[in-house]
Amino acid sequence: MPDSLLNAAEHVVQPVLRKSRYFNGLPMAGAVLAAFVPISALPDRPQRHSAVLPIAYAPVPLLPLGPFRVAGAWQVKVMDRRAGGLSGLAIGGGRFVSVSDLGAVVAFDPPAREKPMADIADLRDGPGNAGLKIGRDAEALARDSQGRGWWVAYEQRHSLWLYDSALARAQATVPVHRPAWWDNRGIEGLVADGDGLLAFPENGREVIRIDHHGQRSLPLQSPMDVAEAARATDGSIWLLLRSKSLKGIDQAIAPLMADSVGYRVGPLQTLPKAAFDNYEGMAFASLPGGGWRIWLLTDDGHRFMARTLLVAIDWNNPPDRRHNKRPATSAGRL
C-alpha cells in the first residue's frame, strides 16, 4: 500500500490477505484482587459466528460530580460473552462502536432506540492465534484520517491494525512496542491526528506519534495512567485517566496539552463513578445548546463485582481548548 503512514512503520508493513466476515451479528480484599486478574489468566475461546442480539439497558443511579450533569447511566446486558471486556468507544451512523479484549467488535444502538440491538463479530484477522486472548486483546480504536477504515490497537501483541470500514478485513499492521512495556501495559488510547496517529500507552509516560516521519516517542507528563483518548467536537484531545488502589479505581479526564518537549495533561476533572467501575471507552458529542455530551463505557473485564455500564454526562461549559484544535475524527451526535 503506497501510503505515508503505513510506510512509516519501523518494520515492513504486512498486508493481510485472509478473508473475514462482519455484520452478517467475597470479601472486599478478595474482590479487589479479583478485579485486577490479568487477561492472560482468562480461558481461551473458539471463534464464533457474527450475531445480532437485543440489548437490555437497565438504568442505574449515579450521582453528579463537579461540572458534570449525569444525563443517564445504564447497565448493558447482551447474551454474548464477547460483549464483555469492552474498550474504546466511537460514534458513527447513530451507533456506538467498541472492541473487546476477547478479540471482537461490537456495534450497538443507544438506549434511546426503541428496540436497541448489538452487532457482534470476531476480528478474524489480527495478531496471533484468534482463539488465544493473549493474542487478540483489542484495547483501542480510531477512524483512519484518510477514510480507509478503522485502526485497532492490540496491547498483548503490541501492534496497530488497519481494518476496512466494516471492521471485517485487515489491510495492514504496524508493530508498536517498547521493551519496558508489560504484557498488559500497551496502547490504551488511539487518536487520528492529521495524516498520522497518536498512540497512548497505559503507563502515561509517553505519546507515540506515527506518521510519514516514522515512529517518535514524545514525553507525557501525567499523574495517572491512561485508559482512553478521544477528540472532542472542538478538535481538542482529551485523555481518560485512571489510578488503582485497594479502595478501587479513581478516574478523571484531562485535556492533552503540548509543551516545549512533548505533552502534558491539563487540569483534571474527576468523573462520577462507583468504586469498581472501570471506564475504558470515551466519545464526545455536541449538545444542541452548546457544550458536550461525554459518553463513557466501562470494561467489566469478565470479573467479579464489575459491570458493563454506558454513561452519558453533560458538560455545558467546557474549557476552550481551541489552541490545540485539529479536525475531529470520532465525534458525533447521539
For the chain, give every domain's residue range. Answer: 6-324
Q: What is the pLDDT, as a whole number, of residue 333?
A: 60
**243-285 pLDDT per residue, tens:** 998 888 999 999 999 998 999 999 999 999 998 899 999 999 9
- Whether the predicted pLDDT of 130 surpasses 80: no
User: How large a percentage of the chain has pLDDT more than 70?
Assistant: 79
The residue ranking higher by pLDDT, 86 or 320, is 86
- Whether the predicted pLDDT of 129 surpasses 60: yes
- Compute the radius of gyration of the chain from its Cα atoms: 18
Q: 96, 153, 128, 12: which is closest to 332 by C-alpha?
A: 96
- The pLDDT of 114-136, averaged and rounded, is 83
Q: What is the pLDDT, as a whole number, of residue 161?
A: 92
Residue 29 binned pLDDT confidence (cut-offs 50, 70, 90): very low
- Whether the predicted pLDDT of 6 surpasses 50: no
Q: What is the pLDDT, as a whole number, of residue 134?
A: 66
> What whole-number distance in Å separates Cα of residue 258 and Cα of residue 16?
35
The answer to whether the CB of 112 falls within 8 A of the CB of 312 is no
Cell numbers found for residue 250: 479513581
- Give pTM, 2 decimals: 0.83
- Whether the predicted pLDDT of 153 surpasses 80: yes
Report the DSSP pairing between strands 138-143 and 170-175. unpaired
Q: 249, 256, 251: which is closest to 241 by C-alpha?
A: 251
- The pLDDT of 219-227, averaged and rounded, is 96
Q: What is the pLDDT, as a whole number, of residue 301?
A: 81
Residue 45 binned pLDDT confidence (cut-offs 50, 70, 90): low
- Whether the predicted pLDDT of 220 surpasses 90: yes
> What whole-number distance in Å separates Cα of residue 243 and Cα of residue 132?
28
Q: What is the pLDDT, as a whole number, of residue 149?
A: 94
Q: What is the pLDDT, as a whole number, of residue 212?
A: 81
The residue ranking higher by pLDDT, 15 or 134, is 134
- Whether the predicted pLDDT of 241 surpasses 80: yes
Where residue 4 falls (left for φ over 0; alpha for ψ -120 to 50; beta otherwise) is alpha
Provide CATH code, domain 6-324: 2.120.10
